[in-house]
Amino acid sequence: DRKFIAASAQLGPIACDEPRSSVVGRMLALLDEAKARGVSFVVFPELALTTFFPRWFFGNDADLDVFYERAMPNADVAPLFEAAKAAGIGFHLGYAELAEEEGRAVRYNTAILVDREGKIALKYRKIHLPGHREHEPERPFQHLEKRYFTRGNLGFPVADVDGGRYGTLICNDRRWPEAFRMLGLQGAELVAVGYNTPQHYPPAPEHDHLQDFHNHLSLQAGAYQNGTYVIGSAKAGFEEGCELIGGSCIVAPTGEIVALAATRGDELVTAPINLDRCREIKANIFNFALHREPDTYGLLTAP
């Protein structure tokens, strides 16, 4: 339907040795609260089932493999799929994916949208992979997404889910207007964005105090410039020695934050959604058919 209550289900820190069953238990508690509040769509963060493992260098695949899912759903997350279906709640989930392509293992930073009937309606693999590829021991912590993930190969898909047009971006993608525009051009009305964003950015620590601002700046601009709701969901708090920003929020198509997390722990943030409000923007200031000038934008797609 077009009018419902949505939630961002922020997660606090996940320890390196916290089992999937414990994390899923925390998600089930948030889902219970969502049900009590009449929510029908919940956004969980990027890499929601484990600690943010790209902060460490692993010298061998066996140590790395434990953080990846080989199937989705699998036994660990089945309780989440079942509980959400029983409650008639759709959800977004980010996880590390170990896929097999032509007999080769390929690693992706992946997110799925699951509809209210428990069916996976959309799958996206992160395209803008930040950080670095080689071990940089001088850093206080690593950000090895370029080493541990292959660039997504599914484009920027949207799907018609439960009466609306939904898309997903993953963390660093939100900073790139082109990524949001790819979804906007396909008529997205709700974009789910999970993130793990350290407060400290070793290459430019002078920007540390701006991390929350840049997060909201990107989410709010993406919403407004494409006339879409955006639901941002953080993995937040002091995780294995690294502080991650919170600020999970729901942004209206006008770019206004209509609900905002108050903590850096497990927290459910809810707001009423009316997807027909997207037209306030899509039919006016950003009426693409009327006002876009794509023949002048060639530079945007030049390599």
Any idea which residues carry the catalytic annotation? Answer: 46, 126, 171
CB nearer to ligand CDT: pick between 34 and 182: 182
Mind giving me the DSSP string for the chain?
--EEEEEEEEB----TT--HHHHHHHHHHHHHHHHHTTEEEEE--TTTTS--GGGS--SSHHHHHTT-BSSSS-TTTHHHHHHHHHHT-EEEEEEEEEEEETTEEEEEEEEEEE-TTS-EEEEEE-----S-SS--TTSSS---HHHH-PPPSS-S-EEEETTEEEEEEEGGGGG-HHHHHHHHTTT-SEEEEEE--BS--TT-GGGGGGHHHHHHHHHHHHHHHHT-EEEEEEB-EEETTEEE----EEE-TTS-EEEE--SSSSEEEEEEEEGGGHHHHHTTTT-HHHH--GGG-GGGG--
- Decide: is 172 part of the binding site for ligand CDT (CB under 6 A): yes
Only segment of 16-24, 191-199, 261-269, 287-295 that touches ligand CDT (CB under 6 A): 191-199
Site size for ligand CDT, by CB under 6 A? Answer: 10
Provide, rounded to whole angstroms, the least separation between the CB of residue 81 and ligand CDT: 24
- Decide: is 195 part of the binding site for ligand CDT (CB under 6 A): yes
Pick the binder of ligand CDT from 12, 13, 131, 227 (CB under 6 A). 131
Only segment of 1-9, 99-107, 194-202, 226-234 that touches ligand CDT (CB under 6 A): 194-202
CB nearer to ligand CDT: pick between 130 and 255: 130
In sequence order, what are the beta bridge partners of 177?
none
- Decide: is 81 part of the binding site for ligand CDT (CB under 6 A): no
State both tokens at 171. 């963390």
Closest CA to 179 of 221, 236, 131, 133: 221
- Decide: is 107 part of the binding site for ligand CDT (CB under 6 A): no
Provide, rounded to whole angstroms, the least separation between the CB of residue 282 and ligand CDT: 27
- Decide: is 143 part of the binding site for ligand CDT (CB under 6 A): yes
- Fill in the per-residue mask, 233 to 272: x = in contact with ligand CDT (CB under 6 A), - = not in contact: ----------------------------------------
211-226 and 177-184 are packed helices; what angle lies between their axes, rounded to 10 degrees? 30
- Decide: is 53 part of the binding site for ligand CDT (CB under 6 A): no
Provide, rounded to whole angstroms, the least separation between the CB of residue 239 and ligand CDT: 12
CB nearer to ligand CDT: pick between 128 and 277: 128
- Decide: is 180 part of the binding site for ligand CDT (CB under 6 A): no
- Decide: is 50 part of the binding site for ligand CDT (CB under 6 A): no
Pick the binder of ligand CDT from 8, 50, 168, 197 (CB under 6 A). 197
Pick the binder of ligand CDT from 73, 130, 177, 255 (CB under 6 A). 130
What is the rounded distance in angstroms from the CA atom of residue 249 to the CA atom of residue 205?
25
Pick the binder of ligand CDT from 196, 220, 233, 270 (CB under 6 A). 196
Peptide bond into 140 cis (omega under 30): no
- Decide: is 177 part of the binding site for ligand CDT (CB under 6 A): no
User: Which residues contact ligand CDT (rule: CB under 6 A)?
Assistant: 46, 130-131, 143, 171-172, 175, 195-197
